[in-house]
């Protein structure tokens, strides 16, 4: 199992407000980098997109527990993975990070580890920017 994490983000909103936003699969379209993700689609429980114009990834919402969101990759994905968003309330803001836990063989790890890491970083950055612009 390979674990990749974004940088820490800080948002001047309550954790409940951020959690509510992230609980909606449609909002992940706002977090994905537009130049690296296309064909974004969503339902009330799932979202999918094409990463880097090549790999189609689909996720389904699982539990939301103790300020942590969990999306499981669907079996149609080219590799098994889970996406987690960890949130923590501090005095006047919400901090957290985005994490992927993936089952990657050595070849896949060499090919997609850096792009996945970059994707997580851009999603965390876009999340912070979204809330900064929509106060």
Tokens representing residue 93 in the block: 């803001």
CB burial string 8-45: b at 16+ within 10 A, e below: ebebebebeebbebbeebeebebbbeeeebeebebeee
- Predicted pLDDT of residue 110: 86
Phi-psi region of 9 (alpha: psi -120 to 50; beta: other; left: phi over 0): beta
Question: What residue spans define the domains of the chain?
Answer: 2-133
| Torsion sign over Cα 114, 69, 72, 32 | negative
Residues in the chain: 135
- Predicted pLDDT of residue 65: 82
Q: Express each pLDDT in 93-105 by its tens digit.
A: 999 999 999 998 8
- Predicted pLDDT of residue 53: 63
Counting residues of the chain whose pLDDT is more than 90, the rounded percentage is: 73
Average pLDDT of the chain to the nearest whole number: 92
Q: 3-state class of 14 per DSSP?
A: coil
Q: Express each pLDDT in 30-62 by its tens digit.
A: 999 988 889 999 999 999 999 876 789 999 999
Asked if the 2-133 domain carries CATH number 3.30.530.20, the reply is: yes
């Amino acid at each position: 199992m390979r674990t990749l994490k974004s940088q820490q983000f800080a948002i001047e909103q309550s954790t409940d407000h951020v959690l509510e936003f992230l609980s909606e699969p449609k909002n992940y379209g706002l977090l994905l980098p537009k130049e690296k993700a296309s064909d974004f689609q969503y339902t009330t429980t799932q979202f999918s997109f094409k990463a880097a114009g090549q790999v189609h990834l689909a996720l389904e919402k699982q539990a939301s527990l103790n300020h942590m969101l969990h999306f499981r990759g669907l079996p149609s994905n080219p590799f098994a993975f889970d996406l987690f968003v960890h949130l923590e309330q501090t005095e006047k803001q919400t901090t957290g990070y985005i994490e992927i836990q993936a089952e990657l063989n050595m070849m896949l790890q060499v090919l997609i580890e850096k792009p996945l890491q970059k994707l997580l970083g851009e999603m965390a950055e876009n999340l912070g920017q979204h809330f900064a612009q929509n106060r």
